[in-house]
């Protein structure tokens, strides 16, 4: 996957998470945990990368709300 985890960029991290979600049919939360476990990345490092990417952060937030891990935020009807 990533050759040099000491220089893991936000873009590379996001691509890897999106790839896991699409190819392995994982939820975002599971994909992040799987990626961290497989690559020896601290969850705190992943959290800082997630905070820096609004789209990834929003996807995880919606997923967490649907799983009742977070209180639901008000959303406008589509």
Averaged confidence pLDDT in the chain: 88
CB half-sphere exposure, 3, CA atoms < 13 A:
0
Q: How open is the CA angle 34-39-40, to the nearest 5 degrees?
A: 100
pLDDT in tens, 41-59: 999 999 999 999 999 999 9
d(CA 33, CA 49): 13
What integer is the mean pLDDT of 34-43? Answer: 94
What integer is the mean pLDDT of 2-14? Answer: 69
Q: Are 16 and 35 in contact (CB under 8 A)?
A: yes
Q: Decide: pTM greater than 0.85.
A: no
Q: Are 21 and 10 in contact (CB under 8 A)?
A: no
Say yes or no to pLDDT of 35 above 70.
yes
pLDDT for position 3: 41
């Amino acid at each position: 996957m990533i050759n040099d985890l000491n220089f893991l960029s936000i873009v590379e991290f996001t691509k890897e998470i999106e790839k896991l979600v699409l190819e392995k049919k994982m939820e975002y939360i599971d994909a992040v945990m799987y990626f961290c476990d497989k690559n020896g990345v601290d969850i705190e490092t992943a959290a800082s990368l997630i905070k820096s990417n609004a789209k990834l952060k929003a996807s995880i937030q919606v997923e967490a709300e649907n799983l009742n891990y977070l209180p639901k935020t008000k959303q406008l009807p589509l």
